[in-house]
Amino acid sequence: MAPGASTAHTMMEDKEKALHGALATVSMRSRRISQFAPLLIALVGLPARGKSQLAHRLSRHLNWNGESTKVFDCSEYRRKHMALYGSHDIFRADNQQGSAIRRQSAREAVQDAVLWLKEGNSVAIFDGTNITREQRRELDDYCQSDMGFRILFIECVCEDQELLERNIIEILHYSADYKSMSEEEAVDDLRKKLEHYMRQYEPIDGNLETISFVRVENMGETVTAHKVIGQKESGILGYLSGMRALPQTLYFTRHGESEYNVVGRIGGDAALSARGQLYARALAEHVNALAGREPLTVWTSELRRTKQTAADIRAPKYPLRALNELDAGICEGLTYEEMQERFPQEFAWRDQDKLRYRYPWGESYIDIMTRLRPVLAALEDDHNVVVVGHQAVLRCMLGYFLDAKLDELPYMNVPLHTIVKLTSYGYKYKVEMIKLPIDCVDTHRKQPKFSLYNNVWFRGIIGVYALLDSHYKYDVAPVAFIRLLCLVIYMILFTLADHARRLADIERDAAERTATIELELIDKKLSAEKSASDKRMQAELEAVEAGSSRGSNRGSRSINSTICTTAPLSPRAIEHGDIALSHKATTSGIPHVFQAGDAIQAHPQAWGPYGTNVAAPPGPLPTFQEVGVTSAPP
């Protein structure tokens, strides 16, 4: 064989080996990472592109759908290494110390995300910039090759100037980095920070990178997917495709008091009571005033009481079956006392796990959450909507927007005749409770502290009874006796449990009443102290004004007890004035006023005619927060 041919043959063999090695590596990686492996989502993009808003909205959506998800914000880790945010300089590429802090912060965030996934959770969201290809490659290799996790990159791009300006305003208002800065300083700092990032930014390129990614432009206006494989990833892609970024104001209210509410019955399709009709008119008056400023829509259930409540509202109305109240099955129309008497076992099981308990031939809270998914998806991207619904349904809807824990949903307090207003700010919602002055019953049932189903003896008795009931005939004397004995023991345990629950409720109510009384006493005491303080202050001011009008040789001056900024008293006022103040003016709870001749730390003659310090005063000039001079000397 010729030397050239030998060399070419060797090169071909080397290429084949390298190719087989690469294929083997890819094959091992594919085998190691299954469809059910935990998923790490890494955000990519410049600041003010909506990454944090997307991360938290996606986390809320995934948690609601049973995927335990948590957001790991790289900025929070950076702030742990810096007592105070200095300036934009930390984001310069040539700032080695700043770069080291940012790399360490990202490393800690990823490590905590990995620990979260190792604990058995489903999804971790790494909220960082990840603006270079090298950063993304290292993160991709670490998650897939080293940890065996799936990873999806989501790049946020924003070309809409209106949306970009809104994102910038939210950062300036809500970011912890700019709390101690003035508005001008914060705007300038953020602008320079963006410039530093833009010099380093390398957008994701599918031709140069082998990662799986989704590009979201203008918060859902355009969504592009590249190598997206997997059930979770496909579900996330579907959610991102329908997402929109809008400032939101949403209103939630239960129907007016119904006839069933008055007598304590659950479910049914009852009409409004007399007080419920009053609430319907008051609600219409309130909402119609809002509709006059900005158009809105009304969503109701298909049940009679919600339609009657919204009847007088002058806005488009949409009855939705998904908003119907929880179906109580065989317990529809019963009171809780009747349910406890007729179906004690069901009543105990419901107290044990109210979220997942399903009424016989009825529904559970989980069932409500399932049928609400399309409604919430539509509502999340809408604005100025009034939802007139039911207690269980509104608990689930409010729990979604407020990102409440699932086990807390069945016990959220959503009172009658109250409007719950949600206003979006950033990725969170501000809650405002608007109580309309119409009396109604209280239908809220608190979480019981004692559940009979937790009792081991009770569960054993129920198990024996069920076994005998399903395997033996009733006419066998020993079996009948044992069944009767089980029933007797069961009734005894149930009576004791009910007594314990009632005692626990009484104790809790008493503690709440005591706390309320204590708060009222504290408020009265503070009001009395404030009134006395105002009277003393007024008397002192009157005395000063009287003395000033009698003995001043430079004209009268008045002192106001106005609250000022933390600025020192003018040296000219000290030089010319007949007022001197000491440190006790700012350390005491009540402003202390001094007249001419009292002790002062800074001697008037140490200051020139225009406040120039011509000689060092014997002590520091105090800072006063609560007394202002209204007439400065000429």
**Residue 561 neighbours by CB distance under 10 Å:** 15
Task: Give whichever of 112-116, 182-186, 245-249 has the largest mean pLDDT.
Answer: 112-116
For residue 504 the two structure tokens come to: 């626990």
Residue 526 has pLDDT above 70, yes or no: yes
3-class DSSP assignment, residue 543:
helix
Is residue 425 within 8 Å of 170, Cβ to Cβ?
yes
pLDDT of residue 220: 82
Query: What's the whole-number mean pLDDT along residues 358-373?
Result: 94
**Which of 292 and 200 is assigned the larger pLDDT?**
200
Of 286, 579, 574, residue with least CA distance to 420: 286
pLDDT of residue 111: 92
| DSSP assignment string, 34-103 | -TTS-EEEEEE--TTSSHHHHHHHHHHHHHHTT--EEEEEHHHHHHHT-SS---GGGG-TT-HHHHHHHH
pLDDT of residue 196: 83
Residue 83 has pLDDT above 80, yes or no: no
Residue 530 has pLDDT above 60, yes or no: yes
Of 160, 135, 136, residue with least CA distance to 49: 160
Residue 265 has pLDDT above 80, yes or no: yes
Determine if residue 230 is left, alpha or beta; phi over 0 gives left, psi from -120 to 50 gives alpha, anything else beta: left
Residue 324 has pLDDT above 90, yes or no: yes
pLDDT of residue 621: 41
**Which of 361 and 474 is assigned the larger pLDDT?**
361
Binned at pLDDT 50, 70 and 90, residue 391 comes out as very high
> What are the percentages of helix, strand and coil residues in the chain, rounded to 5?
50, 15, 35
Binned at pLDDT 50, 70 and 90, residue 558 comes out as very low
Cβ neighbors of 609 (< 8 A, separation 6 or more) are 572, 575
pTM: 0.66
Element (DSSP H or E) covering residue 307: helix 304-309
CATH architecture of the domain with range 249-435:
3-Layer(aba) Sandwich (3.40)
Binned at pLDDT 50, 70 and 90, residue 198 comes out as confident
Residues annotated as catalytic (active site), given as ranges = 127, 158, 255, 325
pLDDT of residue 604: 39
Residue 67 has pLDDT above 60, yes or no: yes
Residue 457 has pLDDT above 80, yes or no: no
Binned at pLDDT 50, 70 and 90, residue 86 comes out as low
Query: What's the whole-number mean pLDDT along residues 235-240?
Result: 90
Binned at pLDDT 50, 70 and 90, residue 501 comes out as low
Of 140, 106, 107, 154, residue with least CA distance to 209: 140
**Residue 509 neighbours by CB distance under 10 Å:** 11
Query: What's the whole-number mean pLDDT along residues 262-288?
Result: 94
Query: Residue 433 forms beta bridges with which residues?
Result: 420
β-pair type (69-73, 123-127): parallel
Residue 584 has pLDDT above 70, yes or no: no
Task: Give whichever of 393-397, 534-538, 598-602 has the largest mean pLDDT.
Answer: 393-397
pLDDT of residue 486: 66
Above pLDDT 90, what percent of the chain?
36
Q: Residue 169's Cα: distance from chain center in Å? A: 19
Above pLDDT 70, what percent of the chain?
70
Binned at pLDDT 50, 70 and 90, residue 479 comes out as low
Query: What's the whole-number mean pLDDT along residues 359-373?
Result: 94
Binned at pLDDT 50, 70 and 90, residue 415 comes out as very high
How far apart are the C-alpha atoms of 358 and 361, rounded to whole Å? 8
Question: What are residue 150's phi and psi, to 5 degrees?
Answer: -80, 150
Angle between the 391-401 and 365-380 helix axes, to the nearest 10 degrees? 50
Of 343, 351, 338, 358, residue with least CA distance to 501: 351
Residue 255 has pLDDT above 90, yes or no: yes
Q: What residue ranges do the domains of the chain occupy?
A: 30-241, 249-435, 448-551, 553-634
> Was domain 30-241 assigned CATH 3.40.50.300?
yes
Cβ neighbors of 476 (< 8 A, separation 6 or more) are none
pLDDT of residue 480: 61
How far apart are the C-alpha atoms of 123 and 360, rounded to whole Å? 34
pLDDT of residue 560: 40
Residue 402 has pLDDT above 50, yes or no: yes
Mean pLDDT rounded to a whole number for the chain: 77
How far apart are the C-alpha atoms of 71 and 52, rounded to whole Å? 9
Binned at pLDDT 50, 70 and 90, residue 170 comes out as confident
pLDDT of residue 200: 87
pLDDT of residue 75: 87
**Residue 290 neighbours by CB distance under 10 Å:** 18
pLDDT digits (tens, 9 = 90+) for 140-159: 999 888 888 999 999 999 88
pLDDT of residue 172: 78
30-241 and 249-435 share one CATH topology?
Answer: yes
Residue 595 has pLDDT above 80, yes or no: no
Is residue 562 within 8 Å of 588, Cβ to Cβ?
no
Determine if residue 96 is left, alpha or beta; phi over 0 gives left, psi from -120 to 50 gives alpha, anything else beta: alpha
